[in-house]
Amino acid sequence: MPFVVVDTNVSLPATLISTGLMRKFWVLLAFGAAAYRAEHLQLEVDGLEAQATDVGGEIHGRQALKRLATQADQARASMEELLPVGTPSDWFAIGGVDLFSEYERKVEEVAAKLRVDPPPDPAQARRQVEAVCVAAEASFDPADVPSLTADSDDDLIVWTALSGGADLLISDDKHVVPDEAAGSNSYAAGDNTVVAVRFGYLIDNYLDEVEWDRIDGRMLPQLYRAGLADR
């Protein structure tokens, strides 16, 4: 059950281009988000059901929550039907305000470089990225972020992963995962640790059993419509 932080050098091409492995990986994260939401809403329902049994009567909001849980599970099931049997549903993305803001700032520039037509709306693109992230890092003051990489601009993404309790940070930035690190680089701060990996290293060493050739990146908008977008 890996929790991952995805750098914008991976999330931007993954969300702006409908083909390629990065896009397919984003589909996997969208599936994980749907499964996570369905599971945790059901846990909330179970908790209210237990409370209702203990105290008797109707607990306020229980029926509304049950409807949400049913809808979330239907969304998860709809996504599952579009994916190869055995596609993992336990890869979860962690986000954060600074990471989302960086994504939104770069959308138009990267879309132009990639010749995306029509150009995306940055605010909408940000909301869709936020929808795939099931958790957020603990709030922190950027001024308190320690020096972690050779480039101070990259310290924030590493700190987001560390403070958010991520297992993996996926980044193709040479300052986060230097060339001499051979695709993988570990960071630690206090009791927290995270492994930063290049995208290719991630695919080869963590997700080599996924049937990527059977995942169509063009299905991502359909996954959003199934229950992730703008929620």
Q: What is the pLDDT of residues 37-55, one digit of tens each?
A: 888 788 877 777 776 677 6
Indicate the pLDDT class of residue 25, thresholds 50, 70 and 90: very high
3-class DSSP assignment, residue 169: strand
Domain count, the chain: 1
Bridge partner list, 189: 192
Model confidence at 136, pLDDT cuts 50, 70, 90, reads: confident
**Omega prior to 118 cis, within 30 of 0:** yes
Mean pLDDT confidence for 103-125? 94
Work out the number of other CB atoms within 10 angstroms of the CB of residue 230. Answer: 9
Q: Which two tokens stand for residue 53?
A: 């049994």
Residue 202 belongs to what domain range? 3-228
Q: Between the CA of residue 107 and those of 113, 123, 153, 220, what are the distances in Å? A: 10, 9, 18, 17
pTM as predicted: 0.88
Query: What tokens appear for 18 in the block?
Result: 């409908």
Which of the four pLDDT bands, split at 50, 70 and 90, describes residue 231?
very low
List the one residue out of 83, 88, 107 whose CA is nearest residue 219. 83
User: Does 133 have pLDDT greater than 60?
Assistant: yes
Identify the residue whose tokens are 């993305």: 93
**In the numeric block, which tokens belong to residue 77?**
């099931």
What distance in Å separates the CA atoms of residue 18 and residue 62, rounded to the nearest whole number?
39
Each residue of 212-227: pLDDT tens digit? Answer: 999 999 888 877 766 5
pLDDT per residue as tens digits for the range 160-182 = 999 889 999 999 999 999 999 99
Q: What percent of the chain has pLDDT over 70?
A: 91
